[in-house]
Each structure stands twice: as structure tokens, then as C-alpha cells.
Amino acid sequence: MDDGSHADRRVALVHDFLLDVRGAERVFLALAEHYPDADIFTAIHDPVGSEHRFAGRRVHTTFLQRLRPTARTFRALLPLYPAAIETLDLRGYDVVISSSSAWAHGAIADEDAVHVCYCHNPFRYAWNAREETLARTPAPLRPVLGAVLSHWRTWDTVAAARVDRYLANSPTTAKRIRRFLGREAAVLAPPVDLARFVPSAEVGEEYVVLSELMPHKRIDIAVTAFTRLGLPLTIIGKGPDRRRLQRLAGPTVTFAGHLTDAEVAQRLARARALVVTATEEFGIAAVEAQAAGRPVIALRDGGVRDTVVEGVSGCFYETPDPEALAAAVLGFDALAVDPAACLESAARFGTPRFLAAIDRAVEETLQGASDRPRGPLHHRRRATRLARGRGASA
């Protein structure tokens, strides 16, 4: 909750898109709750897809909203998002906080405002997954997509120069921000709503994958491994890769689709273990599983190396292939893991810690900006606040 320390400032919150509720959107929800008077800005907003989580808030969108894109169709507009985000009118705001995994960091703040970006990852398709993305694209379209991604890299670099301070969700992301955008970023692990999860006295037989169904998540590795093992695997989530994954799946693999928060919490609490096949920049699902008292079996790469305690709250496998995952599953006694140890591991990532750090970052950035030259707009806003103050005290 907002403690009132920033009530005298106009705050704008910017997110890439609000079409569903995934890890990045949960971070943005925490920010929105912390700044209840802030206006919300995004390229596109689907109230149904985002489960009406922003009902009652002022949500400003771009010209792309007229096309009514959804979580299934929004990727077709890829070349338009950088230009769209720059059209957001952020005049008059003292603080802009963007939550960005693609284009939100490109929002143009007022001359005298400060812009703090919480970065989930520089746009993966333009940077660390560019070649992989082009390889999956039909050959006739590769030159066009390649040109779009090259232009995006140029735009990203320019946009990054406008941000006052970057915060990264993991050391992996901080390294990418430094390498790709030429900026330094302090690491701040994202918030996890630990109160959602309660360990269960009964643990079942099934293993769980909790993820958006995208090719780069490599869920086919889990589908293939568990089909060969003949062990039960439930995949929770939706996405464009579902059909391909279903064709690979044997009878022990179940696709649960989208579930409510309460249903996800129950499934995690009763799961044998959570399986993570992707290279996650942070990986909120791994912390959520531990908050539910269950261990994680994950590829030793990315953010899970910082959130899972090997031999205590989970185990790792070394190479992204079904054989390595299958060996890890057979060699790891998930039922021997102490749920209390999982809870202790998850407790490092609670929401209050995150919000306190965001407040410190904003205050430090404002303080650092106080010495830079001020333009006419700053003096007009300052005069307006002084006039309001005199009126309030009269």
C-alpha cells in the first residue's frame, strides 16, 4: 500500500501492454497498488484478458487500441509499438516509472520529470534471441523481420539514453542492459505475493509446468521427457505453442490451460515439483512454487540460479534436452525436500522489500536530478504547487 510519501507528486506508470496476467504484469500490479493515484499508460489494454485487474484506474492507451488487439493477435503489430509508445502524453508528471520487457522504457517523460525503468529484459527478439527468432521465421519473411529488428535495436539504444535510472530484475538482465543498451542497472528481484500460497499436507504424483506457451520457453523438452518417462505432467498456461506441444505429448501429459490464481496455488501446493525448462531472466513461477512448499527442477541457467537453493529447495540439470531433464527427475527425491526450507527460500522475494527499494530508487533519482538545470516547465509547475499550498493553508 501507498504510505503517502509520494502523494504530492504526479506519478505515471507505464507498461508494455496489458493483455493478460503473467509475471511482468504481476510486477506492474504491485506498482499500481503501491501508487493508487497514479495514472496508467500502456500501448494496448484488454480488460478481459487482464482479468479486470485495473478496473477503476485511469488507463491511457495509444492509437493501436483502435485495432482491439488481444494476447493472441498483438504480435502482428510488432513494428508499430516503438512509435506508439512515444505518443503517450506524459506532460505534467513528476515521476515516470516504466515496467518494460520491450518498449515501455521508450516512453518520453517530461523535460523536468525523472524516469525510472524496471526492466524485465531488453526486447529479447531484437537482442539475445534475434537469430533464434529469425530461424523460426519462414524464409521469405526473414529479410523483412530482420530489418524490423535491426531498426528496433537502433530505437532501443536511443530510448535507453532517455531513462534516468534502470533497475534490473536479475543479474542476467543487468548484464544484458549493460551489453545491449550501454547502461548500468542495479539488481532488484521482482515482488512475489507470498500470501497467495499455502503448503499442502498432501502432495500428489504430478509434476507441473507453469508458463506461457511460447517456443523460447522450451516446454517441448518437458513434454518429451515426461512422455518417455511415463510420469504425470500438467502444463498450466496458454500461448501460441500449445498445438505443437500437444502433438508431441503422450497420455501422461495434460494441458490445463489458463487457471485462476487460487487454482494455480492449489496445483503448486500439491505438485511433486515445478519443472522449469526456459532460461528465465528471473522466473517468478519458481519462487511461487517454493512459497507453496514445493521444490523446483530447473535448467541451470538464468534467474533460477539465484532463487533456487540447490539440494535444499530444488535441483538443476545442465543441458536443455529431454535426456538431461529426465535424468534429473529420476535422480531427485522431491518428497524428501523440507517444505519449510522452500518457504524460507521464497521469503527473500516478498513484495514489501521490492516496494521499499522502488521508493528508494525514485527518491535517489529525484535527488540526483535536483542539481541539473531546470527548464521553464519546471518553474511553472513549481509555482502552481506553491499557489496550491497557499490556497490550502488559507
CATH number at residue 282: 3.40.50.2000
| Same domain membership, residue 206 and residue 68 | no
Is 2 within the bounds of a domain? Answer: no
Is 231 within the bounds of a domain? Answer: yes
Could you tell me the three cell numbers for 54? 485495473
Is 37 within the bounds of a domain? Answer: yes
Give the lowest-confidence range in 2-11, 144-153, 201-210, 306-315: 2-11
Distance CA 323, CA 89 (A): 52
| Same domain membership, residue 199 and residue 62 | no
| Same domain membership, residue 161 and residue 297 | no
pLDDT of residue 214: 93
| Same domain membership, residue 60 and residue 81 | yes
| Same domain membership, residue 269 and residue 212 | yes
Is 338 within the bounds of a domain? Answer: yes
pLDDT of residue 392: 33
CA 371 to chain centre: 33
| Same domain membership, residue 111 and residue 66 | yes
| Same domain membership, residue 226 and residue 153 | no
| Same domain membership, residue 136 and residue 92 | yes
Helix (H, G, I), strand (E, B) or coil at 147: helix
The number of domains in the chain is 2
pLDDT of residue 373: 55
For the stretch 293-346, pLDDT in tens is 999 999 999 999 999 999 999 999 999 999 999 999 999 999 999 999 999 999
Is 6 within the bounds of a domain? Answer: no
- In degrees, rounded to 5, the angle at the alpha carbon of residue 315 between the alpha carbons of residues 313 and 319 is 150
Is 5 within the bounds of a domain? Answer: no
pLDDT of residue 13: 98
DSSP symbols for 157-181: HHHHHH-SEEEESSHHHHHHIIIII
Is 36 within the bounds of a domain? Answer: yes
pLDDT at residue 376 tops 50: no
- Tell me the percentage of the chain whose pLDDT exceeds 90: 86
For the stretch 211-255, pLDDT in tens is 999 999 999 999 999 999 999 999 999 999 999 999 999 999 999
| Same domain membership, residue 151 and residue 273 | no
DSSP code for 293: T
pLDDT of residue 369: 80
Looking at 333, 349, 365, the residue that finishes a domain is: 349
pLDDT of residue 136: 87
Structure confidence at residue 48 as a pLDDT band (50, 70, 90): very high
Distance CA 301, CA 319 (A): 9
pLDDT of residue 382: 40
pLDDT of residue 72: 85
For the stretch 110-155, pLDDT in tens is 999 999 999 999 998 899 889 988 998 999 999 999 999 999 999 9
Q: For the residues 176-181, what does the mean pLDDT come to?
A: 96
pLDDT at residue 27 tops 60: yes
| Same domain membership, residue 220 and residue 361 | no
pLDDT of residue 71: 86
pLDDT of residue 349: 95
Model-wide pTM > 0.85: no
pLDDT at residue 68 tops 50: yes
| Same domain membership, residue 247 and residue 146 | no
Average pLDDT, the chain: 91
| Same domain membership, residue 381 and residue 236 | no
Domain that holds residue 359: 11-191+350-393
Structure confidence at residue 387 as a pLDDT band (50, 70, 90): very low
Distance CA 229, CA 350 (A): 36
Give the lowest-confidence range in 64-78, 83-97, 222-236: 64-78
Is 3 within the bounds of a domain? Answer: no
DSSP code for 76: G
DSSP symbols for 238-273: --TTHHHHHHH--TTEEEEES--HHHHHHHHHH-S-
